[in-house]
Amino acid sequence: MSANTVAVLESVQRFLARHHGLYIKGSWQPSASSTRLSVFNPADGLQISSSADANEADVDKAVASAWRAFTSGVWANMLPAGREKILLKFADLVEQNSEELAQLETLEQGKSINISRAFEVGCALNWMRYTAGLTTKISGRTLDVSIPMPEGARYQAWTRKEPVGVVAGIVPWNFPLLIGMWKVMPALAAGCSIVVKPSETTPLTLLRVAELASEAGVPDGVFNVVTGSGAVCGRALTEHPMVAKVSFTGSTATGKGIARAAADRLTRVTLELGGKNPAIVLKDADPAMVIEGLMAGSFLNQGQVCAASSRIYIESPLFDSLVSGFEQAVKSLSVGAGMDTNTHINPLVSRTHQQKVASYLDDAQRNHAELITGNNGPTGEGYYVTPTLVVNPAAELRLNHEEVFGPVVNLVRVKDAEEALRLANDTEYGLTASLWTRDLQAAMSYTSRIQAGTVWVNSHTLIDANMPFGGMKQSGSGRDFGPDWLDAYTETKSICVRY
Ligand code: TXE
């Protein structure tokens, strides 16, 4: 253990040792299923905790609790300022417990404690407070109408935004707390009740946060957490007849399955799916800025970021110098456990995912791709993958078109910006992209031609609570964040009065 290793808080040790149940109706409930799901520390592969493997009966109980809380009006009909105050207190409690939450996240997910502190908790707080503020901004419109009958009658119409009902939130394992709050907060701000399911790999932080929501004053039954597999628990939740809306972040394949099932009941769905995100570097770009920005954009959280840059297209005159710049940068990354504050690259989330990412590199090696590798992780049972640059990969390689979701990035030489744009758009995905240039004309013209929900110029992966985020093409449907975020959690009701 290095001198920079963070000591695990006693409260974290106690939380890990608990026999976690399900959080339903404001308290811990045992699961009807006797099977447990192990939680492992990705840094050494050792089991650190376990969670309940909820079945259909558990899910039914959680959704019924959410439904009763919703229809009682205890939350949905509370004055908006009352809901806002409770949600701001919720954020304060998350802040007061930030180190505990950050450590839990690093221990179950593997990422650097620095990233857990700054992103999982720090960004979650930004988003929580932003969304709490939306609670008091929910507004309809007044509408002058021209209904011509009966003769002489006059009408006045207006719209109201009403909460949709019970929301199901399905959360992946790459940012369990942050993405979890992206489901919980808009639902609560809009006046909905929610049942949220974290990934089976990383259930701990949302379980802890549920207690804090109750402590803040969120009424019992409004915020419920069920843990379990996607196939049983996730499916039962997203297909439950009392669920009015599903907010899902995860793989494209699972998202499509959820959308298909939702179509049967016309359940509303927001899908935030994968990406194979391009970065286009024009020959006038600032090389230092490119390397700093795209190293972060590609390797943050070991590349387990849906918005990450994974294909970098570089105009020929800059290509050789940028490849050596990236090589130097990747070789300077230290690889080790997330609890060590001095490491840059940490283990991936699970053995299964480590093997999946390694299979892309095996495929590249078998096909004689040129690989530039950084430092290896510590030997042992940790789920490490060596950070790798793939230079000019052949078109047929799997890592050229599939989402790797690991510390692997392609560097590709292109003759000009038009070729870069054609290759960048030649994907089924359309989540994010970036353009690197000092030429305003080029920036204005290419940003509108790149097919992606978010396009950055001279940065990558920088998201903000006030900036809508979501995918085009196979990267999803609907947008999260921004001033209109709650629209997806509300119904618009028209009211028309004759006078
Ligand atoms: O995803 P799944 P997995 C991508 C990434 C990764 C791949 C597979 O490329 O390698 O997806 O990861 C729940 N009904 N992303 O297998 O299956 C599941 O329990 C309802 C991109 O982990 O989509 C978990 O809570 N729920 C991504 C969540 O869905 C179901 C983040 C995600 O799992 C379900 C993660 C079902 N039938 C992976 N099946 C991003 N967009 O950021 C599974 N789940």
Binding site membership of 389 for ligand 1 (Cβ less than 6 Å): no
* Structural domain for 406, as ranges: 277-457
Q: Using CA atoms, how far apart are residues 137 and 219, in angstroms rounded to an integer?
A: 21
The tens place of each residue's pLDDT in the chain, 499 residues long, gives 788 999 999 999 999 999 999 999 999 999 999 999 999 999 999 999 999 999 999 999 999 999 999 999 999 999 999 999 999 999 999 999 999 999 999 999 999 999 999 999 999 999 999 999 999 999 999 999 999 999 999 999 999 999 999 999 999 999 999 999 999 999 999 999 999 999 999 999 999 999 999 999 999 999 999 999 999 999 999 999 999 999 999 999 999 999 999 999 999 999 999 999 999 999 999 999 999 999 999 999 999 999 999 999 999 999 999 999 999 999 999 999 999 999 999 999 999 999 999 999 999 999 999 999 999 999 999 999 999 999 999 999 999 999 999 999 999 999 999 999 999 999 999 999 999 999 999 999 999 999 999 999 999 999 999 999 999 999 999 999 999 999 999 999 999 999 9
Binding site membership of 235 for ligand 1 (Cβ less than 6 Å): yes
> Are 106 and 229 members of one domain?
yes
Strands (E), 172-255: 193-197, 223-225, 243-249
Nearest ligand 1 atom to alpha carbon 253: 23
Domain count, the chain: 2
Ligand 1 centroid to residue 319 C-alpha, Å: 35
Nearest ligand 1 atom to alpha carbon 257: 37
> Are 54 and 106 members of one domain?
yes
| Residue whose CB lies within 8 A of the most ligand 1 atoms, among 170, 182, 427, 454, for a mutation test | 170
Residue 338 lies in a domain: yes
> Are 248 and 311 members of one domain?
no
CATH number at residue 213: 3.40.605.10
Residue 21 lies in a domain: yes
Residue 487 lies in a domain: yes
Residue 367 lies in a domain: yes
Quick one: tokens of 132?
A: 């709490």
Nearest ligand 1 atom to alpha carbon 273: 41
> Are 253 and 306 members of one domain?
no
Q: Using CA atoms, how far apart are residues 249 and 471, in angstroms rounded to an integer?
A: 11
Residue 186 lies in a domain: yes
Binding site membership of 243 for ligand 1 (Cβ less than 6 Å): no
CA-CA-CA-CA torsion sign (424, 430, 433, 435): positive
Residue 422 lies in a domain: yes
Asked whether the beta carbons of 486 and 182 are under 8 A apart, the reply is no
Q: Nearest-CA neighbor of 385 among 301, 469, 458, 313?
A: 301
> Are 295 and 264 members of one domain?
no
Q: Using CA atoms, how far apart are residues 398 and 36, in angstroms rounded to an integer?
A: 35
> Are 447 and 405 members of one domain?
yes
Q: Using CA atoms, how far apart are residues 221 and 25, in angstroms rounded to an integer?
A: 4
Residue 233 lies in a domain: yes
Q: Assess whether the previous peptide bond of 407 is cis (omega < 30° from 0).
A: no
Residues involved in catalysis: 272
> Are 282 and 404 members of one domain?
yes
Residue 251 lies in a domain: yes
Task: Tell me the pTM.
Answer: 0.98
Binding site membership of 406 for ligand 1 (Cβ less than 6 Å): no
CATH number at residue 289: 3.40.309.10
Give me the count of residues in the chain. Answer: 499
